[in-house]
C-alpha cells in the first residue's frame, strides 16, 4: 500500500506545472497574441477595402446597364448638387439595377470603412442643412422613402460633379450648367474617376485636405473596374492641389473629356 501511495506522489510531482513554467507559458501566449493582432487587424482592413472596391464595381455595372437602357446616357435627373449625388443618383439612377437594396448598411451603397453616422452623406447633409426630410428626395420616389429608400441616407459613395456638368470649351474648366452625357463621350473610361468613396474621409473638408495620411482614394470607373488610386499619380485639377497633396476628382480638367491620371 505504501508503494502505491509513493507512486501516486511521483506521478503528481512529474505532471504538475511549477509557477515558473506557468509564467513562461503565459508569456509565450501573450507574445503570440501581440504578434497576431496586427496581422489580424491588417487582414480585416484589407477585407473592408476589397468590399469597398467590390461595391463600386457593382455600381459601375449598374451604371452601364442603365446606360444600355437609356440610349447610352449616364444617370441624370436634372437636379443639381447636392441633391443629385447625395440621393438621386442612387435612388433613381441605380436602385432598379442593383440586386442589393438601398435599405440597411449591409448594402453596396455603404462602405464598410464608413464610420460616419448614418453614413458619410447623411452626416454631411445633417451638418450642412439639418435633418433630411422626405420632401428633399426626388418627387418621383418620395412615396418610397422609409420603405425601399432610407429616410436618412447612409450612402458612402459619390458620383463626381464633373459627370453631370458642362465644360468650358476654351479653358477646360467645369461650369455650373448641367449636362447629360453619354458613355461614349467619356474619352478615357479607365483613367477618369467617375465615382469615389467618401466613407474614409472626415465630413469636414478642411481636415482631409490637410491630413498627411490621406494619400489616395477608392474609385470607380466607367469601364466597370474599381481601384485605389494614389493622389501622387493624379493630374492637378482646376482647383489645384490641396496642402497634403490630395486632389479633388470632382474638378478634373476637361471634365468627362479629361483624365485623372
- What single-letter DSSP state applies at residue 93? I
Asked if residue 207 belongs to a domain, the reply is yes
Asked if residue 229 belongs to a domain, the reply is yes
Asked if residue 155 belongs to a domain, the reply is yes
- Looking up cell 473638408 gives 205
Asked if residue 10 belongs to a domain, the reply is no
Average pLDDT, 10 consecutive residues per value, the chain (261 residues): 51 64 81 73 83 97 97 97 96 93 92 93 93 95 95 95 98 98 98 94 73 92 97 95 92 98 97
Asked if residue 40 belongs to a domain, the reply is no
Distance of CA 178 to the CA centre of its chain: 25
Among residues 256, 75, 74, the alpha carbon closest in space to that of 182 is found at: 74
pLDDT at 20: 81
Asked if residue 18 belongs to a domain, the reply is no
pLDDT at 48: 93
Domain that holds residue 158: 52-257
Residue 87 CA to residue 90 CA, distance in Å, equals 6
pLDDT at 210: 85
Could you give the C-alpha distances from 224 to 54, 61, 229, in angstroms and in order? 11, 6, 15
- Greatest Cα pair distance in the chain: 108
pLDDT at 118: 93
pTM of the model: 0.83
Asked if residue 14 belongs to a domain, the reply is no
pLDDT at 11: 47
Query: For the chain, what's the residue count?
Result: 261
pLDDT at 15: 60
Phi, psi for residue 151 in degrees, rounded to 5: -65, -40
Cell of 63: 451604371
Asked if residue 201 belongs to a domain, the reply is yes
| Structural domain count, the chain | 1
Amino acid at each position: 500500500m505504501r508503494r502505491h501511495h509513493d507512486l501516486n506522489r511521483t506521478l503528481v510531482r512529474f505532471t504538475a506545472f511549477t509557477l515558473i513554467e506557468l509564467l513562461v507559458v503565459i508569456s509565450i501566449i501573450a507574445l503570440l497574441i501581440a504578434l497576431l493582432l496586427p496581422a489580424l487587424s491588417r487582414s480585416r482592413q484589407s477585407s473592408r477595402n476589397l468590399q469597398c472596391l467590390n461595391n463600386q464595381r457593382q455600381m459601375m455595372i449598374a451604371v452601364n446597364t442603365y446606360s444600355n437602357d437609356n440610349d447610352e446616357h449616364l444617370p441624370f435627373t436634372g437636379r443639381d448638387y447636392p441633391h443629385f449625388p447625395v440621393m438621386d443618383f442612387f435612388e433613381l439612377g441605380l436602385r432598379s439595377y442593383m440586386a442589393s437594396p438601398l435599405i440597411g448598411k449591409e448594402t453596396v451603397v455603404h462602405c464598410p470603412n464608413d464610420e460616419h453616422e448614418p453614413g458619410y452623406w447623411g452626416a454631411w447633409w445633417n451638418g450642412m442643412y439639418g435633418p433630411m426630410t422626405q420632401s428633399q428626395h426626388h418627387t418621383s420616389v418620395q412615396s418610397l422613402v422609409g420603405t425601399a429608400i432610407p429616410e436618412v441616407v447612409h450612402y458612402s459613395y459619390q458620383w463626381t460633379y464633373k459627370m453631370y456638368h458642362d465644360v468650358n470649351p476654351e479653358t477646360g474648366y467645369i461650369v455650373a450648367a448641367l449636362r447629360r452625357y453619354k458613355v461614349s463621350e467619356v474619352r478615357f473610361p479607365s483613367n477618369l474617376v467617375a465615382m469615389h468613396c467618401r466613407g474614409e474621409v472626415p465630413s469636414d473638408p478642411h481636415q482631409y485636405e490637410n491630413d498627411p495620411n490621406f494619400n489616395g482614394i477608392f474609385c470607380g470607373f466607367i469601364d466597370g473596374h474599381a481601384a485605389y488610386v494614389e493622389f501622387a499619380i493624379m493630374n492637378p485639377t482646376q482647383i489645384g492641389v490641396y496642402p497634403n497633396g490630395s486632389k479633388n476628382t470632382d474638378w478634373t480638367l476637361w471634365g468627362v473629356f479629361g483624365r485623372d491620371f
